[in-house]
Amino acid sequence: MTTNFFTENADLLEVFDRVVPWTRVVKAVEGLNANVNETVSTWREVLDLAGRYIGAEIAPRAPKIDEIGVIREDGEVRMNDLMTESLKGLAELGLASPSVPPDFGGAGLPFTVSMMLAEMLARADLATQVQHGIGWNSPAALILRFGSDEQKARYLPKLAKGEIMGAVAMTEPQAGSDVGRLTTTATPRDDGCWILRGRKQFISAGQGEMCIVLARLSGSSGLDGLGLFIAEREGDNYLIERAEHKFTIRGSPTCALVFEGTRATALGKPGDGWKQIVTFMNESRLGVGIQGIGVAQAAYDKAMEYAAQRVQMGKPIREHPMIADMLLEMRTIVSGARALAYEAAALQDLVMFSNDQRAARDVREITPLVKWYGTEGAVRVCRLALQVHGGYGVVDEYDVGRYMRDSLITPIYEGTSQIQSLMAVKDLMKWTMQRPATLVRKGPSRMLASASFDGRIGSDFAAARGHVLGALRLLLTRLVRRKGLGALRGRELSEEDLGPILLHAERITEALAHTHVARVLGERAKLVPERRALAERAARTARLVAERNRRAIALDDGSVLEQISAWRAQRQ
C-alpha cells in the first residue's frame, strides 16, 4: 500500500527530478545568485515530508470524511472533525498556505511546488484539498499580491499558520460565468470603510472567518466598476445562509453568503477588481486541472490494483486485452495531463516572479487546455476505473464511486469545460485572424509550430497538428464566405457571425489539448527514452481525435444554429 504520495508516485517523481526546468524557476523565484541544487533539494524534502503525511494520515480519513460530510448544527456550518484534524496536521508541518513568504510565516514555495502538494492532496481527498486550497491559499495569494502592508500583516501570518480560514466570494445566483451581471454592491463611507450588500452562492470554504468579495462599486456598470473587498465574519458581519447538500466533495462546505450592511476594506484599488480576479482565475484554473490529475491518479491506482488481483477465466483481468487497453488509456491521460500541467505551472512561476512575456503568452495558451484536459480526463479515468471494478465499483468500500462523484465537479467550477473551450478558441482565432499565414504553415501557435519529433511520434503529431489547422481553415473559410475578407482584417464581428466557430469550440479545444499532450510527452521522451511508448500512444490518440473532430466540423448540417435562430425568434 502506498504511504508516500510523492516518492512512491513514479510519474510525479520523474516530472520533478527530470522534467521541470528548475534552473529557470529557481533563478526567477529566488534570484540569479540562488543555489539551484540546494533550493531544489529543499523543495524536494518538503514534498517528501508532505507526501508521507498525506499518504499515511489524510488518505485513510477520506472515506469517513465523505460519509460524515459537512456539519450543520444550531445554525452553524463547519467542517467535520476528521477534516479539521487533517488540515491541522498540514498547518503543523508549515504547509497551511505554503506560497506565503517566510517573512509572514509561510514556506515561500513556488507555484509549481505548491501545485504538486495540491495534486497529492486531491489524490488523497479532493474535499480536503478544496478546503486547503480555497480556504488558505487563495485568499493569501490575493492579499499577498494586492493587499496593503497593513492587510498583509493582519492576515498573512494567520493564514500561513492555519489560525484562520478564508474564501473568495465571486459567484452570485444570477451571475455564474457572466461576471458583468454581478449585483453585490460596495458603497464607501467617510471613514474609509466600505459597506457590502448582496448575496453570493457556491462559495467553497465559505464557513471561514473572513472572505474576499468581488462587488460592484455603487452606481457603476461594466467590468471596470468591480472591486475586491476583505470582510471579516466576526459578530455576524455577514451571514452563512446555508451550506449546500452535494453528492460531490461532500466534506467541503459550499456556502451561500448574505451581505447586508457588511463592513469591509478595499483590497487594492477599487475598480481594478476584474483585472485582479483574472490573475487569480488563471492560477485557479491550473489548480483545478491539477485537482483532476490527483483524483484520476487515485482512480487509476485502484483500478490497477484491482485488475491485478481480480481473476476471471483463469487469469488476472488486466491480461484481458480490453481491460489492458483501458488501463493504458488511463495511464496516458494521467501522465499527459500531469506533463502539460507542470509545464504550465513552471511558466506561471516565470510570469509571477520575472514577468517573462513569452512565458505569459505560452501559459495563456495552455491554461484553458490544462483545465479542460485535466478535468475531462479525470471524469474519463474515473469512469473507466468504475468499469474495471464491475459491480464492486458501486460499493462504497472500494472508493472508486467517491472518485467518480468527486471528479464530476472539476469540469464545472472555476469555469466550465465549455467556458474553457470558448477562452481557448477565441484566443486562437484572434491570433489566427491577425496572422492568417499560420494556416498554411505549421501553426496554429508558436508552441505547436516549433515542436518536432522523429519516428511514429513525429508523424502522428504532425498529422494531429495538420487536422487542427484544417479545422481552423474550414471555419475561417465559412466565415469569409459569409462576411467577406474584412473578417480577417479586424472588422468587428457579432456573436451570430462567430456562431459556427463557437459551436465547434469544444471540438477544437479537445483536438488542441490532445495535440499539446502529444507535444509535451514527446519532449519528455527525448529526456526519458523509456517513456517513448507512452508518447507514441498519446500522439496516436491526438491524431485520431483531431481527425474525428475535423470531420465532425466538415459534416456540420447547420441544424444547431437553425434551432438557436428559431428560439431567438420566439423570444422576440
Residues of the chain whose pLDDT is less than 50?
none
Q: What is the model's pLDDT at position 489? A: 59
Task: Please give the pLDDT value at position 506.
Answer: 94
Q: What is the DSSP letter of 394?
A: G
Please classify residue 121 by burial: count the beta carbons closer than 10 Å to its beta carbon, then call 0-12 exposed, 13-18 middle and 19+ buried: buried
Identify the helix (H) or strand (E) that includes residue 3: none
pLDDT for the residue 177: 64
* Segment (H or E) for 302: helix 273-309
Closest CA to 252 of 119, 84, 5, 51: 84
Q: What is the pLDDT of residue 389?
A: 97
Which of helix, strand or coil describes residue 150?
A: helix
Measured distance CA(252)–CA(239) in Å, rounded: 18
CA dist 391 and 310 (Å) reads 12
Per-residue pLDDT, 248: 96
What does the alpha-carbon distance between residue 480 and residue 433 come to, in Å, rounded to a whole number? 11
Closest CA to 293 of 119, 413, 55: 119
Under 8 Å between Cβ of 139 and 147: no
Domain residue spans in the chain?
A: 1-165, 168-271, 275-415, 428-564
DSSP for 315-376, written as a single string: EEGGGSHHHHHHHHHHHHHHHHHHHHHHHHHHHHHHHHHH--HHHHHHHHHHHHHHHHHHHH
- Which runs of consecutive H residues, i.e. helices, occur in 396-504? 400-407, 417-434, 446-449, 455-483, 499-503
Among 481, 492, 503, 476, CA closest to 564: 503
Three-state SS at 5: coil
Phi, psi of 241 (to 5 degrees): -70, -40
Q: Using the 8-state DSSP alphabet, how is residue 172 labeled? A: B
Tell me the C-alpha distance between 369 and 374, whole Å.
Answer: 8
Question: What pLDDT shows up at residue 192?
Answer: 87
What's the grid cell of residue 551? 470531420
Q: 471-497 b/e with 16+ CB inside 10 Å = b?
A: bbbbbbeebeeeeeeebbeeeebeeee
175: which 3 cell numbers?
451571475
Predicted confidence at residue 13, as pLDDT, reads 98
**Domain 168-271 is of which CATH architecture?**
Beta Barrel (2.40)
Q: What CATH number does the domain located at 275-415 have? A: 1.20.140.10
For 358, residues 6+ apart whose C-beta sits below 8 A from its C-beta are none
Whole-angstrom distance, CA of residue 5 vs CA of residue 16: 13
CA distance 502 to 488: 17
pLDDT of 407: 98
| Cell numbers that stand for 320 in this block | 484481458
The closest alpha carbon to 36, from 27, 28, 45, belongs to: 27
**C-alpha 228, offset from chain centre:** 22
The CATH fold of domain 1-165: Butyryl-Coa Dehydrogenase, subunit A; domain 1 (1.10.540)
Q: What residues are labeled active site? A: 414
Instruction: Please name which of 134, 111, 109, 130 lies closest in space to residue 121, comparing C-alpha atoms.
Output: 130
Contacts of 8 (CB under 8 A, 6+ apart): 2, 51, 55
Contact 168, 202 (CB under 8 A): no
CA dihedral in degrees (355, 357, 361, 367; nearest 10)?
-10
Look-up of cell digits 512565458:
359
Average pLDDT across the chain, whole number: 93
Phi, psi (5° rounding) for residue 214? -90, 120
Phi, psi of 316 (to 5 degrees): -55, 145
Q: What's the first-to-final CA gap in the chain, in angstroms?
A: 62
DSSP assignment string, 80-149: -HHHHHHHHHHHHTT-SSTTS-GGGTS----HHHHHHHHHHHHHH-HHHHHHHIIIIIHHHHHHHHH--H
Instruction: Give the pLDDT score at 458.
Output: 97
Cα–Cα distance between 542 and 548 in angstroms, integer? 10
The helix or strand, by DSSP H or E, that contains position 211, with its residue range, turns out to be: strand 210-217
Label residues 227-263 b or e (16+ Cβ within 10 Å = b). Answer: bbbbbbbeeebbbbebbeebebbbbbbbbbbebeebb
| C-alpha cell read off for 62 | 477520506
